[in-house]
Amino acid sequence: PNQTAPGPDSATVHKAAQDLQARFERFRIRHLPRTMAGSGGRCERVIGRLCIWDGGDPSWTPEPEAQEIVDGRLELVTRLDSLARMRPGNAWILGQRVRYRLEASDFHGAAAVARACGPTERWICKAFEGLALHRRDDVPGAEAAFVEALESAPEDVSLQWTDPSPLLDPGLREWLEDQPDSSAAVETLWLWSDPLFLAPGNDRWTGHLSRWAHALSSEDSRSPHQMRWGDDLTEAVVRYGWTVAWERPWPRAGEMKSSSAVSHESPTALRFVPDRDLLPDGPVNGPVEGPDGGEDEESERVWTLDRKGMKTLYLPPYLDSLAQAGAQWARFPSPEGVVVLAAAENRTGSSGPVGLFASPGPGTVTRGRGGRAPGRIWGSVLLGTRDGDEPPTSLVSLEALHRPTRRGQRSRAVIRTRPFLPDLLTLSDVAVLDRGPEPATLDQVAQRMKPGSRVGPVDTLAVAFQVTGLGPRQEPLSFRVWVEKGEQGVLSRLAGWVGIGEDEEPLSVAWTESAPPGARALLRSVQVVLPDLEPGLWDLAVGVQSPGRFEAVRKRRIRVEDH
């Protein structure tokens, strides 16, 4: 009878694959570009054997990879594929085949290998597939793959991978521990960590799981760090991501050769996990300084993107950079809820989607309208509410994305509003607009809102506001507009400070109007000519009063700067 010699056993194949992988990493080190960079003894974070510091140069770009490394990696992948055919189902070999393909930007090939993984445990296959799809910028596909992976993974793995604790500073951990519904709190944390609601799916969540999958593929493997994979390397990957480039430092004085390579993560990565005071039940729900320097029951807390503390950093797979711009926010209450308007400087060009989003609760994101106007992006969104209910604290995010140049921008804040009271004379926020015809709708207000709070000392601008709580019959309304010094809160009356309209009449305006039917809201704008104000913080104030009612006053802080 015909006979064939048995193939190598699993242990032999596994050992051969490990030898190939270790040999390639030793080969890689010899061909890495040299660098004088190093920590200089300054470790901003220490994780086990690793010294981590911020290079501080967002413009840094890696040198092109040496052709020897490119060719060596291709040979490694080819030989690993051959070993996989000998012994299908080896999870470690599968991980190398996926990871090195991703390193070569073969995202489709990596996903195909993960899908055709053979008898390997299903959760491992789906985890590697999720990693490949995330890197390919198929975030919805990555979400689906990771959901399947977590459903079939061992319970301890599922709990470890979905635990956000490694990313949280002590204040955030305390917040999470204090929440009565931990599942809802974690959901809110991940939702608010999503870099751009404009992009489909939550890539911060898939990015977190992708880092765990990358760490899984790296276990028992060698790297240019010349150390075995351990818990410290896993933690570093989960917090900061995989290496985008390697460099070999020149030996220090007295050394014959450098001891290890320097790994670089993305220099434009940012901290997307929210600060403690932004989250529900944080200080934003207590007294907050309003635009006039006092406590404001309707206030916003601006979310600033940075690399603060370097606890964790991340960059979406579809971006090379994400800009943030100061925005002007304005809230206009109505019987249907609160309409939030926003405008920010345009930093993403003349095309691409724009949207204003609101997240009033766990798992909920509402998309409003948005667009581009000269020099700015704008948006409007309705925070709906039932009669008598107080609108919840909400995250609002004005976003724009230009995929061809891999640029995005966002302006994000947490806002809190009072309930709409139909019988109480109420002023909306004061919106500062560029000069122009009187807007007829709130969208028109948003399109002309200044992108931020900066104005010149003699600018001509418009102030828009809306009055609600008007009675069903015609009632006289007395309006006034004035400017006061923001730092001191000293009232500077109309005369000599502000002019209005083409005739620059004193800003003492009174008129009688019938309440509009239905909504009983009155939208108005007033053109304002600023005098030669000294640089600094000033408040634009609007007051409205009707006989027998208390005056309603709202202020908008502006920053006067010399042009």
pLDDT tens for residues 154-178? 999 999 999 999 999 999 999 999 9
Q: Which single residue is written with the structure tokens 């005739």?
A: 503
- What is the pLDDT confidence band of residue 545, given thresholds at 50, 70 and 90? confident
- What is the pLDDT confidence band of residue 136, given thresholds at 50, 70 and 90? very high
**Residue 489, pLDDT score:** 41
Asked whether 481 and 498 are in contact (CB, 8 A), the reply is yes
Selection from 468, 482, 474 nearest residue 526 by Cα: 482
Mean pLDDT of 128-156: 98
Tell me the CATH class for 421-563. Answer: mainly beta
Helical residues (DSSP H) of 87-121, grouped into ranges: 91-103, 107-115
Asked whether 216 and 120 are in contact (CB, 8 A), the reply is no
- Per-residue b or e along 310-328, where b marks 16 or more CB atoms closer than 10 Å to that residue's CB: bbbbbbbbbbebbbbbebb
Distances 4 to 1, 216, 255 between C-alpha atoms, Å: 10, 36, 54
**Residue 237, pLDDT score:** 97
What is the rounded CA–CA span in Å between residue 308 and residue 56?
A: 12
Report which residue type is found at 350.
Answer: S
**Encoding tokens for residue 215?**
């760490």
CA 366, 367, 373: angle at the middle one, nearest 5?
A: 150
> Under DSSP, is residue 327 helix (H, G, I), strand (E, B) or coil?
strand
Report which residue type is found at 74.
Answer: L
Mean pLDDT of 85-92: 93
- What is the pLDDT confidence band of residue 492, given thresholds at 50, 70 and 90? very low
Q: Residue 498 pLDDT > 70, yes or no?
A: no
**Residue 82, pLDDT score:** 97
Mean pLDDT of 518-534: 81
- The rounded Cα 278 to chain-centroid distance in angstroms is 13
Mean pLDDT of 384-389: 57
For the ranges 188-192, 276-280, 549-553, the one whose mean pLDDT is highest = 188-192
Task: Name the percent of the chain lying above pLDDT 90.
Answer: 55
Q: Residue 295 pLDDT > 50, yes or no?
A: no
pLDDT tens readout for residues 310-348: 789 999 999 999 999 889 999 998 878 899 999 999 999
Selection from 479, 483, 482, 500 nearest residue 544 by Cα: 479
Report which residue type is found at 284.
Answer: V
What is the rounded CA–CA span in Å between residue 525 and residue 527?
A: 7
Q: Residue 147 pLDDT > 90, yes or no?
A: yes
**Residue 457, pLDDT score:** 74
Nearest-10 Cα torsion for 367, 369, 374, 376: -30
Q: Residue 148 pLDDT > 70, yes or no?
A: yes
- What is the pLDDT confidence band of residue 518, given thresholds at 50, 70 and 90? low
Q: Residue 390 pLDDT > 70, yes or no?
A: no
DSSP 270: B
**Residue 507, pLDDT score:** 40
Q: What are phi and psi of 540, to 5 degrees?
A: -90, 120
Plot region of 59 (φ>0 → left; ψ -120 to 50 → alpha; else → beta)? alpha
Greater model confidence, 99 or 389: 99
Partners of residue 460 on adjacent β-strands: 529
Q: Residue 453 pLDDT > 90, yes or no?
A: no
Q: Which single residue is written with the structure tokens 């090195």?
A: 100
- What is the pLDDT confidence band of residue 517, given thresholds at 50, 70 and 90? low
Mean pLDDT of 507-521: 60
Partners of residue 371 on adjacent β-strands: 378
- What is the pLDDT confidence band of residue 548, given thresholds at 50, 70 and 90? confident
Asked whether 536 and 559 are in contact (CB, 8 A), the reply is yes
DSSP 166: G
Q: Which string of DSSP letters, residue by residue, matches 190-233?
A: HHHH-S-TTSSS-HHHHHHHHHHHHHHHHTT---TT-S---HHH
Mean pLDDT, the chain, rounded, equals: 85
Residues of the chain with CATH 2.60.40.3880: 421-563
What is the rounded CA–CA span in Å between residue 256 and residue 261?
A: 15
Mean pLDDT of 397-418: 93
C-alpha torsion sign, points 513, 516, 522, 525:
negative
- What is the pLDDT confidence band of residue 37, given thresholds at 50, 70 and 90? low
Comparing 190-204, 400-414, 504-518, which segment has the lowest mean pLDDT?
A: 504-518
What is the rounded CA–CA span in Å between residue 422 and residue 485?
A: 33
Q: Residue 541 pLDDT > 80, yes or no?
A: yes
Mean pLDDT of 365-377: 94
Comparing 33-47, 104-118, 219-233, 397-411, which segment has the lowest mean pLDDT?
A: 33-47
Nearest-10 Cα torsion for 416, 419, 420, 426: -70
**Residue 347, pLDDT score:** 93
**Residue 40, pLDDT score:** 58
Comparing 80-84, 115-119, 299-303, 485-489, which segment has the lowest mean pLDDT?
A: 485-489
**Residue 6, pLDDT score:** 60
**Residue 86, pLDDT score:** 93
**Residue 76, pLDDT score:** 98
Q: Which string of DSSP letters, residue by residue, matches 283-314?
A: GGGS--B-TTSSB-SSEEEEEPP--GGGS--B
**Residue 7, pLDDT score:** 67
